Amino acid sequence: MAPMTRNRADNPDSKPTAELQGLYYGQRASAGLLITEGSQVSKEAVGYINTPGIHSQEQVAGWKEVVDKVHAEGGTIYIQLWHVGRMSHPDFHDGALPLAPSAINPKAEVYTAEGLKDTVTPKEMTQEDIDRTVADFQQAAKNSVAAGFDGVEIHSSNGYLFHQFFNATSNQRTDAYGGSRENRARFFFEVLEAVKKEIPYSKIGARFNPSLHGMFGMEMDEETIPTFEYIIDRLNDYNLAYIHLSQPFTDVSDISYAVTDIAQHFRPIYKGTLMINVGFDAEKANKVIEDGQADLVSFGKLYISNPDLVERFEADAALEDWDKDTFYTPGKKGYTDYPTLKREEKV
C-alpha cells in the first residue's frame, strides 16, 4: 500500500488514534507492506492541515496503538518520514517562513486551516537549519522504533524538502549542498546516515519521483535525470529495504530530458529491491514484475477504496471505486467505511 496523506489527525496533538487510524490501517493489514501517510518529523516539517507527526510523545503513543493493531492483524508497517520544505505556509509556523534549500517560491498552493493559500518565498536553510533537520529525522526514526514500526520510508519525493535539494532549479546554493549532483544529494545522504543510527539500512526505504514535472512546484531540467541516476546508483552501496519509484504523475512525453518509463530506465541501474508505483492494477503489476522491471508494486488509490485489495486480486473480484471528495476530509466517511468482500455492507 502506497503512502497516502488522509488529513484525519484533527486533534490538538496531531496524533493518530486507535479508533480512526488504527482501524483504517488494521483493515488494510493483508497488504504485503503498509506504508503510512507522510508524517512530519518536526513542527517545522508540516505543510498540510491535520497530518500526523512523529516528533512528540503523544504522537509516538498514538502510532504505537496503530502499529499494535496492524501487527495483531498479521501486517507489516513502515512509517513515511516527511518534511515538506517550501511546500508550506507561514500559517503553520506562527508566521515564520517555511524552510527550503534556496529562497525560491514554488508558486504552488497549500491547504491551510483557512483553505487553499499561495506559497511564499521560503527561508534559505542555514547550516544550523540543516544540522537541526538531520537531527529531527534521526529523532523521528528513534520515535518510529519506539512506536514499534517495522521500518521507515524517507519521503525524498514529490517536490518536498529533499527533492527541492536535488533539483538544480529549486536549489541554487553555492555551499556544499548546491551546485554539483553530489552536493545537491548531500543533505539526503546525511539524513540517511543519521537515520541508520536508529534503524538498520535493511529497514529503510527511500522514495523518488524522477520525472515529476509541473506539480508541487517542481520543473525538470537537463540535470534532473542524471541527478537521480547518481543518487540511485549510489544507493546500491546502502543495502536499503527498497527504493520506491513513481512513474511520472503528468504526461512528460514531449520533454526531451524526461524519462517516461521510470521502472525500465532505473532497473538496470539499481541492483537492490525496486518498488514501482502509479497507475497499476493487478494485470499491469504482474506484467512489470514478469518483465523483470520491478520487484514490488505499490497501490495507492485502489487501497483507499479496497481495504482487502489482496483478497480481491486473489479472487479476481470486482473493485470498489474511490470517492475523491473524501480524500482529504475528516472523520470516517471515505476512510474506514469501504466494504470488504466478507463484509459487503458499509459500516
Ligand X SMILES: Cc1cc2nc3c(=O)[nH]c(=O)nc-3n(C[C@H](O)[C@H](O)[C@H](O)COP(=O)(O)O)c2cc1C
- Of 166 and 299, nearer to ligand X (C-beta) is 299
- Of 3 and 178, nearer to ligand X (C-beta) is 3
Q: To the nearest whole angstrom, how small is the minimum distance from the Cβ of residue 210 to ligand X?
A: 13
Between the alpha carbon of residue 294 and those of residues 208, 209, 232, 268, 276, the distances in Å are 14, 15, 14, 10, 6
Q: To the nearest whole angstrom, how small is the minimum distance from the Cβ of residue 298 to ligand X?
A: 7
- Of 200 and 279, nearer to ligand X (C-beta) is 279
CA angle 48, 52, 55 (to 5 degrees): 115
Q: CA-CA distance, 344 to 347, in Å (whole number)? A: 9
Indicate if 338 belongs to the active site: no
Q: To the nearest whole angstrom, how small is the minimum distance from the Cβ of residue 108 to ligand X?
A: 15
Q: To the nearest whole angstrom, how small is the minimum distance from the Cβ of residue 329 to ligand X?
A: 11
Residue nearest to ligand X (CB): 300
User: Among the residues of the chain, which ranges form H helices?
Assistant: 23-27, 57-72, 127-146, 161-166, 181-195, 224-234, 262-266, 282-290, 301-305, 309-315
Taking the CB of residue 139, how many other CB atoms lie within 10 A of it? 17
Q: CA-CA distance, 272 to 236, in Å (whole number)? A: 7
Helix, strand counts (H, E) of the chain: 10, 11
Q: Which residue, 77, 47, 82, 83, is CA-closest to 63?
A: 77
Q: To the nearest whole angstrom, how small is the minimum distance from the Cβ of residue 166 to ligand X?
A: 15
Catalytic residue among 24, 25, 160, 242: 160
Site residues (vs ligand X, CB under 6 A): 2-5, 37-38, 80, 155, 157-158, 207, 246, 277-280, 299-302, 327
Task: Provide the grid cell at 138.
Answer: 534521526
- Would you name the residues annotated as active-site residues? 160
